[in-house]
Amino acid sequence: MRIGYSFWGFLGNGITDTPDGGRSHRRPFIDALLARGHEIVFLQANRDLLEAGDALGGAYVFDSGTPKIDVLFLEWRWAITGRNTTRCGAEGHTCDLHRQVELMTHYTARRDTPTVIWDKDRTLRTESVGCGTLRTAVCEAALAPSPGAHRLLFPVDDQLLDQADPIALAATPRDLALGYVGNQYDRDEYFDRYFAPAAARVAHLVGGKWTRTDRWPHVRFLGRIPFAQAHELYSRSLATVLMLPERYAAVGQMTQRIFEAVLAGCLPLAPANIRHVDQFVPAELIVSSGQEVIERLACLRQIAGSQQHADLIGACLDRLDLFRLSKQVDALETVLNTITRSAAAERGVA
């Protein structure tokens, strides 16, 4: 199929001063679709080239117009006041939302092009975009997606999973007991409850955009760090805490942070209220309070470098099979085949 793919972010390392969690999984996902014979044309601005000066080796096609495609695929964008809701050309304006409206108007509404919406941030109001038709499908990165939505988790490259060595990861020297990479958005409650109490007791670092930090004067915030440095921070850290916005926790939507951490040998401590938490981490890493985080860290420091430590990392790697790239591409192809067959049937095409 020729897929018109809309995303607002980067395929490469991009730039430091911008949020884009998709950098850890978007390019492997795209490359896997290409390897299966699909053709992909990107329909948003080429931010890798325009902002980061990265031509990506000329491996990908971008088009600012409305080229012929078989399917429209959208990493869903939503209204952000003062950023993409302002007029084009205004200071600080980003045109991701305007472009998405243009694409849906041309393809989805006017041309009845089969459309897949990947609601990665759980911000979609289905009634506002006419979802629910046979030609439009919604995917969510959740173990318990909304009624009518399809599961499409954030993918992790099969090769990275297959090559990960728990023994070597356990043997890696780690000068931090606790590390975290991610932005503040909707995470204050989790940070207060789980991370901040432990940070008062152990060596730690936090990378990401945290603008309201007065309540945690003891926490060492680095600010935003380059994408590649996330792996370095996790490689120095014995453990992290998986802090999810409530709208994610309620449906078992785990972010890419879990495999970024585990692939670096950083053990993920997971709050017990995350739905299906036992599918993400072994029981030894499930916590219910800041005190339990402190206690788990003390235990982990005692076993650091041991076979028991390696076994825990191995158990976490086993659970990442949920996110395996080949499984996610299978899931998307199933959705694509369903909506394109439905569209063909409606047109009376055999």
Longest dimension (CA), the chain: 67
What number is the average pLDDT over the span 185-208? 96
- Residue 142 in contact with residue 246, Cβ under 8 Å? no
Model confidence pLDDT, tens digit, residues 96-135: 999 999 999 999 999 999 999 999 999 998 655 555 567 9
Q: What are the sequence ranges of the domains in the chain? A: 2-155+324-346, 158-323
- pLDDT, residue 253, reads 98
CA distance 226 to 82: 25
Residue 80 has pLDDT above 70, yes or no: yes
Model confidence pLDDT, tens digit, residues 10-32: 999 888 766 677 888 999 999 99
Which one is predicted more confidently, 79 or 108? 108
Residue 216 has pLDDT above 90, yes or no: yes
- pLDDT, residue 89, reads 87
What number is the average pLDDT over the span 35-60? 96
Model confidence pLDDT, tens digit, residues 220-246: 999 999 888 999 999 999 999 999 999
Sequence-ordered strand ranges (E) for 7-103: 39-42, 61-62, 71-75
Residue 268 has pLDDT above 50, yes or no: yes
178 beta partners: 204, 239
Compute the Cα dihedral for 319, 32, 26, 122 and give only its sign.
negative
- Residue 326 in contact with residue 158, Cβ under 8 Å? yes
Note the pTM of the prediction, 2 decimals. Answer: 0.93
CA distance 236 to 231: 9
Tokens 């959740």, located at residue: 142
Model confidence pLDDT, tens digit, residues 284-320: 999 999 999 999 999 999 999 999 999 999 999 999 9
- pLDDT, residue 21, reads 77
8-state DSSP, 105:
I
Quick check: do 2-155+324-346 and 158-323 share a fold?
yes
Tokens at residue 85, please? 């809701």
Sheet holding 221-223, edge to edge: 221-223, 204-207, 176-181, 237-241, 267-271, 286-287
- Residue 227 in contact with residue 13, Cβ under 8 Å? yes
Reported residue count of the chain is 350
- pLDDT, residue 129, reads 57
Residue 92 has pLDDT above 90, yes or no: no
Compute the Cα dihedral for 27, 33, 38, 42 and give only its sign.
negative
Residue 136: which H helix or E strand, with range? strand 136-140
C-alpha radius of gyration, the chain, whole number = 21
CATH T-level fold of 158-323: Rossmann fold (3.40.50)
CATH T-level fold of 2-155+324-346: Rossmann fold (3.40.50)
Nearest CA to 34 out of 5, 55, 10, 75 is that of 5
